[in-house]
Chains A and B, each alone.
Chain A
Amino acid sequence: AQKVTQAQTEISVVEKEDVTLDCVYETRDTTYYLFWYKQPPSGELVFLIRRNSFDEQNEISGRYSWNFQKSTSSFNFTITASQVVDSAVYFCALSGRLSRAQKLVFGQGTRLTINP
């Protein structure tokens, strides 16, 4: 079975602070994909990143960075110099290589509030 755990239900920080959102996953697949999505109040899911299990290289995109640690089954997301517009619910998700069409297992989500 696959499972994604986001232990932080809500995080509130002041603007310009750095914040890290944790994600721990469980899977028996040797090949799998990890994702992060942002869900603003409008409800639409915004794709942020996809990582496959073969690639543990950390990635940086502007103020966003991701730390994939296969040894601890974690895929954490850091926002540097947070801004009010970063306020949203963030979901970590996992899909396994069972078939061509991949269904996603989502974590519980972390509600991030950036205060001015």
Chain B
Amino acid sequence: GAVVSQHPSRVICKSGTSVKIECRSLDFQATTMFWYRQFPKKSLMLMATSNEGSKATYEQGVEKDKFLINHASLTLSTLTVTSAHPEDSSFYICSAPSPPGLAGGNKYNEQFFGPGTRLTVL
């Protein structure tokens, strides 16, 4: 089945630094990827939709200058948390929708999630 990887799995950084998280689709192409954020013991909240070849679409309340998204290729999207602060500490998860033909040929199939990146800002 399709696999989505994330790197790094865990990162600890000092306040004020920028952190880049990579999301890769390993055996399929993804023109769209999604970035979710999960606070401890909370649900997953969609932050933005990453679009290959165009600007990301951010959800209401998400600072686009704070969370920079670049969909560099059909298999890679990156999320950069700029000037990170302790309140940015969270679990970040990316996902990519199953392409047509995979898992039954249905266009609107399941999402494949990455394993997540736990960010801790000191």
Q: A: which residues have CB within 8 A of B?
A: 33, 35, 37, 42-45, 47, 50, 52, 91, 95, 97, 100-109, 111
Q: Are A106 and B115 in contact (CB under 8 A)?
A: no
Q: Are B43 and A44 in contact (CB under 8 A)?
A: no
Q: Are A102 and B43 in contact (CB under 8 A)?
A: no
Q: Are B113 and A44 in contact (CB under 8 A)?
A: yes
A100 to B: closest C-beta gap in Å: 6
Query: By DSSP majority rule, is chain B's interface helix, strand, loop, or mixed?
Result: strand
Q: B: which residues have CB within 8 A of A?
A: 31-32, 34, 41-46, 49, 91, 93, 95, 97, 107-111, 113, 115-116, 118
A42 to B93, CA, bound (A): 13
Q: Are B46 and A33 in contact (CB under 8 A)?
A: no
Q: Are A101 and B44 in contact (CB under 8 A)?
A: no
A106 to B45, CA, bound (A): 7
Complex A-B, nearest 7 residue pairs according to Cβ-Cβ distance, in ascending order = A101-B32, A45-B113, A44-B115, A43-B116, A106-B44, A106-B43, A101-B97
Q: CB-CB < 8 A to A107: which residues of B?
A: 43
